[in-house]
Amino acid sequence: MKSVLEFKARKTSGVKISMVSAYTHWEARFLETSPVDCILVGDSLAVVLDGESTTFAATTEIMARHTRAVSRGAGGKLIIADFPFLAARRGVVAAVDCAAELLRAGASAVKIEGVDGHEDVLRHLTQSGVPVLGHIGLTPQSLHALGGYKVQGKGVAASADLVRQARAIETAGCFGIVVECVPPAVAREITAAVGIPTIGIGAGADCDGQVLVFHDLLGLNPGFSTRFMRRFADGGAVVTDGLAAFAKAVAKGDYPNRKESY
């Protein structure tokens, strides 16, 4: 998938969208030759790559650098770059500058968490030709206001509020919505309420697509697990075994052999 038009068309075709959060050139090269539809350069890179406990440390400069690395590796895929912490809250002009940085770095679209209080930013960007992906439910940039990494939308009022937010995001012209950590029935209701694709993470099977982090789905961070995560490969074991084999070969003098030497 190369464009947001193809992304939007999936709502009517019913073919589910696969999205992976990835941050580096080599992750992108693997994704480029995979059947995964699109790539999110997520601000989760602060946690996954840098070991931070929140996403707050990701800045526009950091997001642009990783977006550039990913776009060099996967130019044939739709690449969406995350707006970093509070970047949508400094007004329209600052948001335009941030979007310009991310699109110059190779993204074709940006993702912005939340909607209330920055509808004008979403509308201005989409009307300026910048495709925007919304994000509701558990929005990690609002971690402190949400009281931690908790399931959202529980109860009638909270789920109705998420449906309201989803509609506001669609009205602002966004091309899709990430729905994070909500009960499956709520994600189903949101998905039925809007005419743009929903991408779930921890939101059950009824969204129009699913997103997972590269390292999580490949088992490359073995200490981490959440209920919604599935390991599609045991990358951690492959890495551990490979490192042990290298150290053993060096210790035994088996590496390098004659063919591996000049």
Q: Work out how close the CB of 12 gets to ligand KIV at its nearest, in angstroms, rounded to a whole number.
A: 23
- Nearest alpha carbon to residue 16 among 145, 206, 220: 206
Note whether 1 binds ligand KIV by CB under 6 A: no
Work out whether 42 is an interface residue with ligand KIV (CB under 6 A). Answer: yes
Give the pair of three-digit tokens for residue 130.
């910048």
Considering only residues 219 to 258 of the shown chain, the ones binding ligand KIV according to CB under 6 A are: none
Q: Which two tokens stand for residue 154?
A: 């529980």
Instruction: Kindly state whether residue 138 participates in binding ligand KIV, applying the rule CB under 6 A.
Output: no
Query: Binding residue for ligand KIV (CB under 6 A) from 1, 28, 31, 40?
Result: 40
* Helix, strand or coil, per DSSP, at residue 36: coil
Note if 61 is an active site residue: no
Binding mask 149-188 for ligand KIV (x = CB under 6 A): -----------------------------x-x--------
Asked if 60 is part of the footprint of ligand KIV (rule: CB under 6 A), the reply reads no
- Number of residues engaging ligand KIV in binding (CB under 6 A): 11
Figure out which of the listed residues 10, 37, 38, 43 binds ligand KIV, where binding follows CB under 6 A: 43
Closer Cβ to ligand KIV, 207 or 243, answer by number = 207
- DSSP letters, 118-178, are -HHHHHHHHHTT--EEEEEES-GGGHHHHTSS-----SHHHHHHHHHHHHHHHHTT-SEEE
For residues 184-217, one letter each, b for 16 or more C-beta atoms within 10 angstroms of the residue's C-beta and e for the rest, the string is eebbbbbbeebebbbbbbbbbebbbbbbbbbbbb
27, 113, 170, 180: which one is catalytic? 180
3-state secondary structure of 13: helix
Residue number, 50 or 241, with CB nearest to ligand KIV: 50
**Could you give the C-alpha distances from 35 to 18, 61, 145, 255, in angstroms and in order?**
8, 29, 37, 36
Q: Catalytic residue numbers?
A: 180
Task: Give the interface with ligand KIV as residue ranges (CB under 6 A).
Answer: 21, 40, 42-44, 82, 178, 180, 201, 211, 213
